[in-house]
Amino acid sequence: MTFFLQLVVTGFAQGMVYALIAIGFVIILKCSEAFNIAQGHFVLIGGYLGYTFLVPFGLPVWAALVMAIVTATIMGLAIERLALRPLLGQPVLAIIMVTIALATVLGGLATLLWGAEYKAYHGLLPTITLKIGSISIPSESLIGLIVSIICVAILMFLFRYTKIGLAMRATAEDLQVVQSVGIRATTVYAVSWVIACVVGVIGGILLGGVSGANMDLANVGLKAFAVVLLGGVNSVGGAIVAGIILGMLENVAAGYLDPLLPGGGLAQVFPFIVMIIVLIFRPYGLFGLSRIERI
């Protein structure tokens, strides 16, 4: 029982980070109907940025976070302006392919700048140790949990109470109406890419703080897709719930089934199995809007 609860708790904290990354994906999708395959590579860049600002630059944690967010903002603006804007109104495949190509370019940049090496910065992020009964909550997961909750709260506030948040929600609802009342859709797109970059980079720093930064961080993006599909592609709340569910399921399944399988590594393929099952039985996810269109 303790083993089970331990897995669930670890999975919960991990799932919160997945949810954070998935939210970036959902925001872009809702605002500009672009499926951003490169979300995982924002996480990768984030992990390495965290390393760069904390270790070689030796900045304090808050300054490193601010610097990373500034870099992410610039990255988001550049990506939206240079790669996505020229493709407005193109078919889905073109936009997906451009984000895939973007993912490779970002992966190439990470290889060029950081040498695709394993960079660890354990213990540089603040830690909180907590122990409930015999279950110890891993300190780094806890900080991840707290930061994720703060980020989600800020995003919720942004969407509900600010003008740009309102514009973003309106764009998600109906592009033509938004344009007819004089809201610049391109600004909304740019902001949504910036948010996705910032959220991905923060997720990257959190994950990098736990397991170190290396090229595998990009694969978290693939887990975020499973989260997004499970939660429903156009639901922020769904992403959070699905992130937590998937984080827990993955940990529990890996904990119990990995010893039974010769090759192990179920955690890597688990999100894809979930993905296929969701796609076959409930393509619009748990909380997504079911499309009326029938094919």
Partner 1 sequence: MGLRWGTFQENYAQDMAIFHSTRQWGIVVAFLILLFACPLFCSDRILTIMTMIGISVISVLGLNILTGSCGQISIGHAGFMAVGGYTSAILCAKLGFPFWAALPCAALAAGIAGLIFGLPSLKIKGFYLIMATIAAQFIIIWTIIQLRSITGGPDGLGVPKPAIGSIVLSSKASYFYLVMVFTSLATLLAKNIVRTRAGRAFIAIRDNDLAAEVMGVSLWSYKLQAFFIGCVYAGVAGALLVHYFSFASTDQFPFMDSVWYLGMLIVGGMGSVTGAIFGAVALKLLDELVTMAGPILAAAVAPQAAASLALISHGLIIIIFLIFEPRGLHHRWEIIKAYFRLWPFSHEVSE
Residues near partner 1 (CB under 8 A): 35, 83, 86-87, 90, 92-94, 96-98, 100-105, 107-109, 111-112, 115-116, 222, 225, 229, 233, 261-263, 265, 268-269, 272-273, 275-276, 279-280, 283, 293, 295
User: By C-beta, is 58 or 115 nearer to partner 1?
Assistant: 115
Collapse the DSSP code of 53 into the 3-class scheme (helix H, G, I; strand E, B; otherwise coil) and give the result.
Answer: helix
Instruction: Closer to partner 1 by CB, 60 or 115: give it.
Output: 115
Given the complex with partner 1, which of 233 and 236 has the nearer CB atom? 233
For residues 190 and 113, give the distance between their C-alpha atoms in angstroms, rounded to a whole number.
25
In sequence order, which ranges of the chain are alpha helices (DSSP H)?
2-32, 39-54, 61-79, 92-114, 139-161, 163-173, 175-180, 185-211, 219-231, 236-257, 266-281
Enter the tokens of residue 212.
């170190």
Q: How far is the C-alpha of 197 from the C-alpha of 42, rounded, in Å?
A: 6
Whichever of 144 and 200 has its CB closer to partner 1, that residue is: 200
Nearer to partner 1, 177 or 277 (CB): 277
Distance CA 71, CA 60 (A): 16
Kindly state the smallest distance separating residue 63's Cβ from partner 1, in Å.
27
Q: Smallest distance, Å, CB 280 to partner 1?
A: 5
CB of 78 to partner 1, least distance (A): 13
Please report how close the Cβ of residue 66 comes to partner 1 at its closest, in angstroms: 28
Residue nearer to partner 1 on the CB measure, 110 or 145: 110
Q: DSSP labels for 198-221?
A: HHHHHHHHHHHHHH-B-GGGGHHH
Query: Is the Cβ of residue 66 or residue 276 nearer to partner 1 in the bound state?
Result: 276
Q: What residues contact 106, with CB distance under 8 A and at least 6 apart?
A: 38, 41, 42, 44, 45
Nearest-angstrom CA–CA distance, 67 and 49: 9
Output the smallest distance, CB 260 to partner 1, in A. 11
Alpha-carbon distance of 236 to 262, in angstroms, equals 38
Of the chain, the end-to-end C-alpha distance in Å amounts to: 46
231: left (phi over 0), alpha (psi -120 to 50) or beta: alpha
How far apart are CB 232 and partner 1 at their closest, in Å? Answer: 12
Give me the least distance between CB of 171 and partner 1, in Å please.
Answer: 19
